[in-house]
């Protein structure tokens, strides 16, 4: 490995360290940005170009190269990562000019999120065998995701002490370590109480865990476990290509909006920093209303 390449690796790691301290981005986002900049650096090595000697046209060439195999959202994340990297490089005087300053993200039509109906939710909830410890835990996971709109990372990171059962609320550590309190309803209370009194102690097997949801032997559940759980349950009701943990978050927000909740309240519950992120649910709700109108109005 050349001395120059080692130096570039050091720069990338320093950049990621600064992101962790200054940006408020989640750990997963920082890891994705790190991978994006490393991939770009590998591509530059093939061109025999140092990362500190890049020009605007070369960055454009790179994005033309990778865009063939990427979704627009992934490509925009890569653009964001590289722009942030060169902004930092410029700020720290590692380069004389920022070659990414005029690089723009791609515009794309926003695909509406899939939202579960109440019947589909009921079918999903009925699948886990709640007579078993695993089944009872899985049912509680589904109920809490729908009741609170948690991100999957927030769900698996939920601590035992974060569940304020007497208050019917949970303390959530969201993106950028920002905390919020999210209430939940009586149905979730019922299943949480059953899980805590029956399932969790059996799964722990006399061990202890800081985490609220645990696997056999008290181990922390992974994000992949939740994805597989929801995918497998969705497949059993014909939704294998639609149902993900994030589907429950979309469903939570859309059902609230359909039943009269205002957008600002939904923004707070979801933990969105910018209300423009929440406004997608207005479009989802409007489309739902149009479908109902078309089906039931005599002159539709």
Write out the catalytic residue numbers: 151, 175, 246, 249, 272, 281
DSSP code of residue 211: B
Burial of 54 (0-12, 13-18, 19+ CB in 10 A): buried
Helix intervals (H) in the chain? 3-22, 27-47, 56-66, 72-91, 118-126, 133-148, 152-156, 186-194, 200-204, 223-235, 245-258, 263-270, 275-278, 280-296
Which tokens go with 273?
A: 């920093």
Residues 6+ apart with CB under 8 A from 71: none
How far is Cα 281 from Cα 45, in angstroms, rounded to an integer?
43
């Amino acid at each position: 490995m050349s001395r120059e390449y080692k130096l570039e690796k050091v720069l990338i790691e320093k950049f990621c360290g600064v992101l962790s301290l200054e940006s408020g981005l989640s750990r997963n986002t920082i890891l994705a940005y790190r991978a994006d900049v490393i991939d770009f650096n590998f591509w530059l090595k093939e061109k025999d170009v140092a990362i500190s000697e890049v020009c605007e046209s070369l960055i454009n060439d790179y994005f033309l190269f990778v865009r063939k195999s990427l979704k627009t959202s992934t490509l925009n994340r890569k653009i964001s990562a590289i722009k942030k990297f060169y902004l930092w490089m410029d700020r720290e005087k590692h380069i004389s000019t920022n070659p990414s300053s005029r690089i723009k993200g791609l515009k794309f039509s926003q695909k509406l999120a899939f939202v579960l109906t109440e019947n589909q939710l009921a079918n999903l909830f009925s699948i886990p065998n709640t007579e078993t410890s695993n089944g009872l835990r899985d049912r509680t996971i589904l109920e809490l995701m729908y009741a609170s709109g948690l991100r999957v990372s927030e769900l698996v990171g939920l601590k035992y002490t974060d569940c304020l059962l007497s208050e019917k609320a949970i303390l959530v550590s969201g993106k950028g370590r920002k905390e919020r309190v999210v209430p939940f309803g009586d149905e979730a209370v019922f299943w949480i109480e059953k899980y805590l009194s029956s399932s969790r102690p059996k799964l722990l097997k006399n061990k202890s865990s800081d985490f609220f949801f645990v696997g056999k032997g008290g181990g922390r559940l992974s994000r992949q476990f939740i994805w597989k759980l929801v995918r497998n349950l969705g497949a059993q009701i014909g939704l294998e290509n639609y149902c993900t943990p994030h589907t429950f978050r979309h469903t939570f927000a859309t059902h609230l909006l359909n039943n009269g909740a205002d957008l600002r309240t939904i923004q707070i519950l979801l933990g969105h920093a910018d209300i423009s992120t929440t406004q997608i649910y207005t479009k989802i709700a409007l489309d739902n209303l149009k479908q109902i109108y078309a089906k039931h109005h005599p002159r539709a």
